[in-house]
């Protein structure tokens, strides 16, 4: 279902300029696209990441934020440390089982829609720490959208993971996904209401 949306900025290739508008319309033209494409474009280019770094992956993230790799060029210049103002949780490093409830609480305090990146081997699968005290992947307590491999991953890998989240938000996630029965079942499986 295409709805005519009028705006002055040039969007992406799937948006077309219609010269012959509705009857009685005397403007120069308008863009016709789906509303979820416009919302996805806006969301994907204005993400506010919250870094949750506990070890060496956090140092690589610091390098990613530096001038050489310039994380800000992807629309994520504002790195926040308040969960209520961020929409992308980046968990980096070893997460002990005692730290698990804290990570889950930070996730729950974030506003919807929210996304999660597990950066590095420790956040993804426990890494080399196969012990009783280390959580063997944060996907045991919160849903993860993108896994970034490496021990620690290079800044290029972190950027690639971020671009995969942008692709998910812009191209593959419908606005109504968060209200679907499947999404509600997923949240219930994690004990999140």
Question: Which residues are known binding-site members for [4Fe-4S] cluster?
Answer: 56-57, 122, 151
Using an 8 Å Cβ cutoff, are 60 and 90 in contact?
no
Helical residues (DSSP H) of 66-191, grouped into ranges: 100-109, 120-125, 155-167, 181-189
Q: Specify binding-site residues.
A: 56-57, 122, 151
Tell me how far the alpha carbon of residue 165 is from its chain's centroid.
Answer: 5
Using an 8 Å Cβ cutoff, are 4 and 18 in contact?
yes
Using an 8 Å Cβ cutoff, are 57 and 152 in contact?
yes
Sheet with 16-18, side-by-side order of all strands: 3-5, 30-33, 16-18
Judging by beta carbons within 10 Å of its beta carbon (0-12, 13-18, 19+), is residue 124 exposed, middle or buried? Answer: buried
Angle, helices 155-167 vs 35-44, to 10°: value is 160
């Amino acid at each position: 279902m295409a709805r005519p949306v009028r705006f002055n900025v040039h969007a992406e290739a799937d948006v077309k300029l219609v010269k012959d508008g509705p009857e009685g319309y005397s403007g120069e033209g308008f863009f016709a696209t789906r509303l979820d494409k416009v919302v996805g474009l806006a969301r994907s280019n204005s993400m506010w990441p919250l870094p949750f770094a506990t070890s060496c992956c956090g140092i690589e993230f610091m390098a990613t934020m530096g001038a050489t790799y310039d994380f800000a060029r992807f629309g994520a210049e504002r790195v926040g440390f308040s969960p209520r103002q961020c929409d992308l949780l980046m968990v980096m490093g070893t997460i002990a089982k005692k730290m698990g409830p804290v990570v889950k609480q930070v996730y729950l305090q974030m506003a919807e829609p929210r996304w999660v990146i597990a950066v590095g081997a420790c956040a993804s699968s426990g890494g080399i720490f196969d012990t009783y005290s280390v959580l063997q992947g944060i996907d045991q307590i919160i849903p993860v959208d993108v896994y970034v491999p490496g021990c620690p991953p290079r800044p290029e890998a972190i950027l690639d993971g971020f671009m995969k989240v942008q692709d998910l938000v812009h191209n593959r996630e419908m606005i109504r996904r968060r209200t679907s029965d499947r999404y509600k079942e997923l949240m219930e499986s994690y004990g999140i209401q």
